[in-house]
Amino acid sequence: KKTDAKKVKKIISSYVEKAVHIHSLPARSAKNKANGAPPQEKKPAAKKAKTVVNNIASLVNGSDPRSFVRKRIAKDFDSKTFYGTIMEYDDTEKPAYWHVEYDDGDEEDYSKKDLIKALKDYEINGKNDTNKSDQNP
């Protein structure tokens, strides 16, 4: 009887090892199984990186609006990037705006949405700004 118990234990042990091995194999689809393709390792899900837009939007929404005065911005016009400086913040009107003067002499008023986009564009293209300052976030 002891011999039979050892045999049974050995057989069960063997089945358990096989079951563990099967569960640890990479998965493959029914189509790949039918075609005889080898199992594919599952890749871990990619982490979503914070985008520049979200970081800058958080910065704009959480900061004193006047803190952006003298910051450099970039804006794309007809596939060409133009650079400018935020000269003032005006909250006497609703909605409030930031006044921008471009290096070529043009001027424009920015809403919060415009400001976020221009700061994001500067984050990406600012390395090409010939008049850059160390003022930007």
pLDDT tens figures, 67-126? 999 999 999 989 899 999 999 999 998 999 999 999 999 999 999 999 999 999 999 999
Distance CA(48)–CA(27), nearest Å, equals 24
Q: What is the dihedral of CA 24, 28, 30, 32, to 10 degrees?
A: -140
Q: Find out whether 137 and 92 touch, Cβ atoms under 8 Å.
A: no
10: three-class secondary structure by DSSP: helix
44: three-class secondary structure by DSSP: coil
pLDDT tens figures, 90-104? 999 899 999 999 999
